[in-house]
Structure 1
Amino acid sequence: MSDPVLSIRGLTLALPKGADRRYAVEDVSYDVHGSEILCVVGESGSGKSMAANAVMGLLPKGVRATAGEILFDGQDLLRLDEKQHRKLRGLRIGMIFQEPMTALNPLMRVGAQIGEVFEAHNRLTPAERQSRALELLIEVGLPQPEKAIRAYPFELSGGQRQRVMIAMALALEPELLIADEPTTALDVTTQAQILELIADLQRRHGMAMMFITHDFGVVAEIATRVCVMREGRIVELGAARDVLERPQHDYTRALIEAIPGNHIPESRYLDPPAPLLEVSHLHKVFRSRGGLFKSSREVHALDDVSFILAPGETLGVVGESGSGKSTLGRCVVRLERPDSGTLALSGIDLSSLKGEALRRERRRVQMIFQDPYASLNPRTRVGMAIAQGPIANGVPRDKALKQADQLLELVGLGGVADRFPHEFSGGQRQRIGIARALALDPELIVADEAVSALDVSIQAQILELLEDLKHRLSLSLLFITHDLRVAAQICDRILVMQHGRIVEQGSAREVFLNPQAAYTRELLAAIPGREPSLASA
């Protein structure tokens, strides 16, 4: 193997006083070679991203290197000042961030943002920058690049924004590319496209790549070598095939075991004597005024959707962004009103209710949102956030707060009611979201992408919690996800949606193992690692 492009030797990064442990990264050593993809794998808090931030000179305030070195082209990056780091960033070391909407400037057009990369390093004339930006957008496969270059980030989809980030990272043809969870929140089909694009560009440009992820399915898809981290330390390091097929450490085995879809339960669904929820011929049309890419048009988000959900059943709704699955969930909880059709809960048509009648029935259906941090008021203590619903429905404040404490205990977070949302991890915030959904004692919970942004091990814990609560509290679940693996793990039955219509439905086992619709087969084929194609093969 060639000399490493990057060498990390004995790196230790100290956390500020009061942190949950002393070091973010402790005595970490690994190399990244040219023309290879090193996947650094671990849960949130494992230190995988912190080491990458140290390479980029982007350590958070209060985190400092206390030992070790990071060697790049003979230079120890830990000894560089900010000005020296800026010369390397983008020019010789590129980075793709997890959330492009946060990393991109919402007030600047795409072309101008790519042009800034050249401007920061005094490369090319303004006209040449624009021309090169267009070439990059073409290279990363962005549709209608001549229009995209004039677009603002909000006018692009998640996958398109990630392609823009990749274009920016590649603009100056760096020798090392760091990709920090670049596909975590994307649909499986979009994720598959981005992974294929990154691997192809890495091969064509001959770059060294550090790819940070929590998903061993992604590792199986693209990795040459794998570095597994836990609580700031490396627990396993080796060739991708060796780590995937013969993991040596219990933690590595646990991460592989946590990949959703490894264990598909036998179908437990029986035809119910009377459904809890009966949806009949539901239609919902959104009318857009048009924009950069689209003229004014009508979007049929729900097009003649019908199904039933039994008491005690978990029904999965699966599809890509734009399939209508989230609109369906919002109609069920009446955050959206359908244009036609019926939503009958125990025989009562929710779609026709208004005012006090709607308020009375709607408490029977509650929602768990995808992003619990965005759905929680950062200035409200979590106990009060849970108690607000019951208080609004006439429960005395003291009783509602006591009930909030009990619900937090139920979801495994006892004694934390006085804390604020920012004091919790993503998985803990999702537990708070579940507690809040339970506060009004519902019969049906709609979980909208409730685990899509979580590490696979935390995801497994939340799925186990939902399954446990469902049985203990006699709940029914409408579980919305883009990932058939997750749906197969928790759901009794699955509906597959495409362009607002149901294209397939059946038991979870039947849909996952013997799909009938071409679209379902496409979703399954896009799951990373389902048919491993290791780069080290």
Structure 2
Amino acid sequence: MNEGNSMNHTTDTPLLSLQGLTIALPKGADRAYAVENLSYDVQRGEILCVVGESGSGKSMAANAVMGLLPKGVRPVDGKAIFADQDLLSITEKQHRELRGLRIGMIFQEPMTALNPLMRVGAQISEVFEAHGQLNGAERSIKALELLTEVGLPEPEKAIRAYPFQLSGGQRQRVMIAMALALEPELLIADEPTTALDVTTQAQILDLIIDLQKRHGMAVMFITHDFGVVAEIATRVCVMRQGKIVELGEARDVLANPQHEYTRALIEAIPSDVVPEARGAETDTPLLDVKNLNKVFRSKGGLFKPAREVRALNDVSFSLVKGETIGIVGESGSGKSTLGRCIVRLETPDSGLMSLSGTDFMTLHGESLRRERKRVQMIFQDPYASLNPRTRVGMAIAQGPIANGIPKQKALAQADDLLELVGLANTADRFPHEFSGGQRQRIGIARALALEPELIVADEAVSALDVSIQAQILELLEDLKQKFSLSLLFITHDLRVAAQICDHIIVMQHGRIVEQGPARDIFLAPQQAYTRQLLDAIPGRPEATEIAS
């Protein structure tokens, strides 16, 4: 845990005090209240981590503080006292005056929070303009200073960039710069690192800790990951289904959790204990990849030079029947491109790729369609890959129907598959009626529908709560054994890879930098980049402690 931040808050009047906050949900919701009788304080100079799974109400409470509750959701009881004002009873105009000036907020997905049509510098300047601070030239100077303070590389270029021209971590730094522009007393960070690579996540956490100390802010940090809590929290508030189940000093909650739900969340974090490698069913490769290369080229435009990105650079490996190989690396490492090439959603420029001896690279048309059913993919965002207007039973049955299975038989098989993944009697529902974890189960059922030999899982658990993540990993392992599947598991999290993979391949800039048995990679990495990925895992003890 971040020891320097463990006990530095004061016991004076809290900066923010939630007192019996109750927020009603619209009729027809799964429960009456988003949060019920919620009471906790945020002290000046502390980082309070509010922890819970999706639907726990942790973000809803923050939105109430900011005056950003969605339509139809409203506070019905309690108070939110900030600087002697009840934020639940002030006008929208008063909320606008507070937002940014005294309370800043960082959102989980900066791409949706930033204006895609405005340059970064203009968006930061707009914060000052909205509050009538500084003139035009001063705003530009201050924007550049803020981008420099949050560690954005080449801030002089970044200030002129549009959000799509920046990486996820860089966009999150822009959001932090905007949240800090007016030096607020309270910073609310809503899952700001969930979608980021472990190394970028570590950088953002370090940045928030550093800025909190330098500016003397209070921080309310919303997360579902106790690994993050171990890195930054002063105190912890654990929420479940709209209620607090545990509240206390971070070191006490982490070392001796009192509530069974808190214990379950901590236990769901992928373990540092790497399982012993399981023996493969055969030495004969199911998938054999040799010297695979893929280059993406973009045409230049009026304001944009032509670009060439070598996504895959002489990638070679073999996967035998019954084996799980993890492909690990940061965004831009080429791991997802590799997965898309293997299922032939992308066509490699050169190299060899065979499936049980069949040359999979040169297949086209009907021969490719016939062979492709042997390799199926589970995507990171199952909601985006499911048609919102198609009932899930039909979504699962579509592949078999396209391959000649009669419709009624395919639908009956879809029912069986849904039961297999723990979603019995749900075939008539639409995707929006399921949670994220349930939608991922639907994605797994759909991948199984064509009875593949190999499944490519592309960041299949990265967007899920840790407890749901653990369930999906367990389900994949069970199905792998039941159907004698081989698995190519793409992830940026070495902890997750270590739990499910027999063998790990580490990629950087399109190249394989290290590969070997999962246990060897995790406990005795040979390359500096692999060690960097391991060191960035939040809450991870030193490798020497793990090995002992």
Give yes or no for contact 1:269–1:493 (8 Å, CA) kept in 2: no
**Other-structure match for 1:160:** 170
| 1:141 equivalent in alignment to 2:151 | yes
What are the Cα deviations for residues 144-185 of structure 1, in whole angstroms up to 9, with x where unaligned? Answer: 111111111111100000001101111111110000000001
Query: Identity across aligned pairs (percent)?
Result: 80
**Other-structure match for 2:94:** 84
Separation in structure 2 between the aligned mates of residue 217 and residue 292 of structure 1, nearest angstrom = 45
Q: Residue 132 of structure 1: which of 123, 138, 142 is its match?
A: 142
| 1:72 equivalent in alignment to 2:85 | no
Query: Which deviates more, 23-32 or 483-492?
Result: 23-32
| 1:440 equivalent in alignment to 2:450 | yes
Where 1:315 maps in the other structure, the secondary structure is strand
**Other-structure match for 1:12:** 22
Where 2:77 maps in the other structure, the secondary structure is strand
**Other-structure match for 1:283:** 293
Q: Residue 115 of structure 1: which of 112, 121, 125 is its match?
A: 125
Give yes or no for contact 2:21–2:79 (8 Å, CA) kept in 1: yes
| Cα displacement (A) at 1:384 | 1.7
What are the Cα deviations for residues 54-93 of structure 1, in whole angstroms up to 9, with x where unaligned? Answer: 1011112222212211000011111112121111111111
Where 1:276 maps in the other structure, the secondary structure is strand
**Other-structure match for 2:366:** 356
| Cα displacement (A) at 1:340 | 1.2
- Name the Cα RMSD after superposition: 1.5
Give yes or no for contact 2:297–2:308 (8 Å, CA) kept in 1: yes
Where 1:154 maps in the other structure, the secondary structure is helix
| 1:229 equivalent in alignment to 2:226 | no
CA gap 1:365/1:336 in 2 versus in 1, 3 angstroms: same
| Cα displacement (A) at 1:315 | 0.7
Where 1:468 maps in the other structure, the secondary structure is helix
Given the two structures, how large is their TM-score scaled by the length of structure 1?
A: 0.97
CA gap 1:95/1:253 in 2 versus in 1, 3 angstroms: same
Separation in structure 1 between the aligned mates of residue 235 and residue 205 of structure 2, nearest angstrom = 16
Give yes or no for contact 2:65–2:80 (8 Å, CA) kept in 1: yes
Aligned pairs for 1:166-245 within 5 A: 166-245=176-255
Q: Residue 381 of structure 1: which of 352, 370, 391 is its match?
A: 391
Aligned pairs for 1:286-435 within 5 A: 286-289=296-299, 295-435=305-445
Which amino acid in structure 2 is aligned with residue 187 of structure 1? D
Give yes or no for contact 1:380–1:420 (8 Å, CA) kept in 2: yes
Where 1:190 maps in the other structure, the secondary structure is helix
| 1:450 equivalent in alignment to 2:460 | yes
| Structure 2 unaligned residues grouped into runs of 5+ | 1-9, 543-548
What are the Cα deviations for residues 487-517 of structure 1, in whole angstroms up to 9, with x where unaligned? Answer: 0011111111111111111111111111111
Which amino acid in structure 2 is aligned with residue 209 of structure 1? V
Separation in structure 1 between the aligned mates of residue 76 and residue 239 of structure 2, nearest angstrom = 19
Aligned residues: 532
Which amino acid in structure 2 is aligned with residue 242 of structure 1? D
Give yes or no for contact 2:280–2:323 (8 Å, CA) kept in 1: no
Which amino acid in structure 1 is aligned with residue 467 of structure 2? S
**Other-structure match for 1:96:** 106
| Structure 1 unaligned residues grouped into runs of 5+ | 533-537
Separation in structure 2 between the aligned mates of residue 234 and residue 414 of structure 1, nearest angstrom = 32
| Cα displacement (A) at 1:435 | 1.1
What are the Cα deviations for residues 169-207 of structure 1, in whole angstroms up to 9, with x where unaligned? Answer: 111111100000000010000111111111111111100
Separation in structure 2 between the aligned mates of residue 101 and residue 26 of structure 1, nearest angstrom = 31
Give yes or no for contact 2:296–2:311 (8 Å, CA) kept in 1: yes
Separation in structure 2 between the aligned mates of residue 248 and residue 108 of structure 1, nearest angstrom = 48
Give yes or no for contact 2:281–2:321 (8 Å, CA) kept in 1: no
Q: Residue 489 of structure 2: which of 479, 496, 520 is its match?
A: 479
What are the Cα deviations for residues 372-422 of structure 1, in whole angstroms up to 9, with x where unaligned? Answer: 111112222222221221222222222222222221111111122222212
Separation in structure 2 between the aligned mates of residue 213 and residue 340 of structure 1, nearest angstrom = 43
Where 1:68 maps in the other structure, the secondary structure is strand
| 1:519 equivalent in alignment to 2:517 | no
Q: Residue 39 of structure 1: which of 49, 54, 70 is its match?
A: 49
**Other-structure match for 1:62:** 72
**Other-structure match for 1:535:** none
Separation in structure 2 between the aligned mates of residue 38 and residue 292 of structure 1, nearest angstrom = 47
Which amino acid in structure 1 is aligned with residue 339 of structure 2? G
Which amino acid in structure 2 is aligned with residue 153 of structure 1? P
Give yes or no for contact 2:378–2:447 (8 Å, CA) kept in 1: yes
Separation in structure 2 between the aligned mates of residue 336 and residue 261 of structure 1, nearest angstrom = 34
Separation in structure 2 between the aligned mates of residue 384 and residue 118 of structure 1, nearest angstrom = 51
Which amino acid in structure 2 is aligned with residue 333 of structure 1? V
Q: Residue 504 of structure 1: which of 514, 520, 523 is its match?
A: 514
